Amino acid sequence: MKRTVPLILAFISGIVMVIAFFCREGSLAENLSQEFLIWSSIIGGFSLLLGCASIVRVQWKHVSQQKSGWGFSVVTLAAVLISGLPGVFAVSWSPLFGRGTGSIYDWIFVYISTPMSGTMFGILAFYIASAAYRAFRARSAEATLLLITASLVMLWRIPMGEAFLGTISSHLVDFVNTYIMLGINLAVQRGIIIGAALGAASMSLRILLGIERTYMGRG
Amino acid sequence: MIATFLITQLPILLLQGPSGVPGPAAPISPLFRIDRINALIIVLVFSAAVLLYTRWAKQGMKLFVRKIAGLDAVEEAVGRATEMGRPVLFVPGLQELDEIQTIAGISILGRVARITAQYETPLVVPVRYPLVLAASQEVVEQAYREAGKEDSYNKDTVQYVAGEQMAFAATVNGMMMRDRPAANIFMGAFFAEALLLAETGNAAGSIQIAGTAQPEQLPFFIAACDYTLMGEELYAASAYLSHEPLLLGGLKGQDMMKVLIVLAVIIGVVLVAFNVGGTYVSWFQVR
């Protein structure tokens, strides 16, 4: 039963979605697929409680056992409480509650969460530099080819670099655009995308027909 | 019985109008998207190829699957973690459970969890979505049960860490620097955080295996990880690791479809080159 019911549910919901793609608006399949999407949002909303319970349990364990870096766990627990609770309290109690402009939740989001995310994103530039250093070290013929190609593409991507390439040869900019980016690069990308799309379709079909059960821990 | 009903009757029921009234009076064509008939044909051909090879595999046909170094390295990575007495970190991507890459990641997680259970190596699985948390917990628990190590299963092996992309990346980076996992396995959909995670893992000295179908993130993983599964290899992983003929049949059907696509592309290139490919190209456009 524990094995069959999820398989039947996966088959029905999957086949409804597939049929809905080939049906016009107003058909039963289309309406059902919309219904399923709503159900999935509702289930997703309720499952947030699971996430909240998990984060509190794990972090509390870190604090109580004073594991390495337990101070971060205290900050995490405080962040969950401070950002979570005012967000779920009724706005009628105080304008600081709820999620509207001027609320505690909004203040934390605008002045703490967004700048911190931006900072993390900004750090990416340094990570790219260190990864590029390792990738472009000319240790072999292939790596040297990659280094030359990447240098040309990076120069081509910035206006000053493009102007510099133009001074070497007027055809160099067109060469990078036509042969490297729209030729070799695009062809390889399309190959990967077609392969990935077929892989995704094949896996979906296997799940739909109950052949692939490894995602349920069986197989 | 149920399966027969689902296959034969359900599609007919679903094609009926909102009134649900069956019979000859109910028009079907106004409800059906004729302009998507080409997509339907491709879906049917693809399904037929997958099912045919699956059937042949079931009948005992030998199917060759090329070696995928990244997947062969999974056991080696867990072995290294066991020797070093350090945990294995597995991230099943940053997308919801409705993303097929996440499901592929969770399938691989099941195999990895089985190996860590056998070796009694600690496993840490940080996730971004509660539904992924529930599915991953089920898969890991089942893997420990199948390995006969139910008592070693820790419910906090899979943990929800953050719902926001960069907060998730920061938390996982912190885990890598504090706990120094011997192996990091990234399987699923990744975005801008791909390089943040992989570079931190590299700095922590972990052996790293990544797999994603996001073409934009592949170069970052290739630069920072020891092994990378590209695109379709991620979806092939569960079949490759299980060696189950039924799953391998699906892979072969997929290869057959690739051959057909290559043929269609070559025909298209020739027709377009002679300026007579207009109608042919329109057959492949899905509205």
Tokens linked to A6: 């999820």
Whether residue B99 lies inside any domain: the answer is: yes
Backbone torsion region of residue A26, taken as left when φ is above 0, otherwise alpha when ψ lies between -120 and 50, otherwise beta? left
pLDDT bin (cut points 50, 70, 90) of residue A138 is confident
Which chain B residues are Cβ-neighbours of A209 within 8 angstroms?
51
Q: Which of A138-147, B42-51, B199-208, B239-248 has the highest mean pLDDT?
A: B199-208
Which chain A residues are Cβ-neighbours of B30 within 8 angstroms?
24
Q: Compare all CA atoms of chain B with the CA of A57 and give the residue at the minimum distance.
A: B156
Q: How far apart, in whole angstroms, are the C-alpha atoms of residue A108 and residue A112? A: 5
Please give the residue range of the domain that contains residue B76: 69-242
Query: What pLDDT score was predicted for residue A218?
Result: 62
Q: How far apart, in whole angstroms, are the C-alpha atoms of residue A152 and residue A181? A: 11
Query: pLDDT digit string (tens) for A141-195?
Result: 888 888 899 899 989 889 999 899 889 988 888 888 889 999 999 999 999 999 9
Q: Which run of H or E residues covers position B201?
A: helix B193-203
Query: What pLDDT score was predicted for residue B158?
Result: 96
Hey, which bits of B213-262 come out as E strands?
Answer: 227-230
Closest CA to B6 of A108, A145, A13, A127: A13
Q: Where are the domains of chain A?
A: 1-62, 136-219
Radius of gyration (C-alpha) of chain B in whole angstroms: 23
Whether residue B21 lies inside any domain: the answer is: no
Structural domains in chain B (count): 1
CATH number at residue B170: 3.40.50
Q: Is A150's Cβ below 8 Å from some Cβ in B?
A: no
Range list of H helices, A65-185: 70-88, 104-108, 114-135, 141-157, 159-168, 172-175
Q: Suggest the residue from A36, A50, A136, A214 to mutate for an interface test with chain B (most B CBs closer than 10 A).
A: A214
Query: What pLDDT score was predicted for residue B196?
Result: 96
* Whether B176 contacts B202, CB under 8 Å: no
Query: pLDDT digit string (tens) for B103-147?
Result: 999 999 999 999 999 999 999 999 999 999 999 999 999 999 999
Q: Is A216's Cβ below 8 Å from some Cβ in B?
A: yes
Query: What pLDDT score was predicted for residue B148?
Result: 94
The interface predicted TM-score of the complex, written ipTM, equals 0.88
Contact flag A124-B166 (C-beta cutoff 8 Å)? no
For B142, the closest of A135, A201, A217 (CB atoms) is: A217
Inter-chain Cβ pairs, chain A and chain B, closer than 8 A: 233
Query: What pLDDT score was predicted for residue B18?
Result: 44
| Top-confidence residue, A2 or B201 | B201
pTM confidence score = 0.88
Q: Compare all CA atoms of chain B with the CA of A50 and give the residue at the minimum distance.
A: B130
Query: What pLDDT score was predicted for residue B174?
Result: 93
Task: Tell me B36's DSSP state.
Answer: G
Residue B6 has pLDDT above 50, yes or no: no
For residue A11, the one-letter residue type is: F
Whether residue B157 lies inside any domain: the answer is: yes
For A131, the closest of B134, B218, B220 (CB atoms) is: B220
Cβ neighbours around A188 below 10 Å, total: 12
* Whether B91 contacts B200, CB under 8 Å: no
Cβ neighbours around A20 below 10 Å, total: 22
Q: How far apart, in whole angstroms, are the C-alpha atoms of residue A49 and residue A56? A: 11
Query: What pLDDT score was predicted for residue B23?
Result: 45
Which chain A residues are Cβ-neighbours of B111 within 8 angstroms?
214
Query: pLDDT digit string (tens) for B7-53?
Result: 445 444 444 444 444 444 444 557 888 889 999 999 999 999 988 99
**By percentage, how much of chain B surpasses pLDDT 90?**
71
* Whether A90 contacts A97, CB under 8 Å: yes
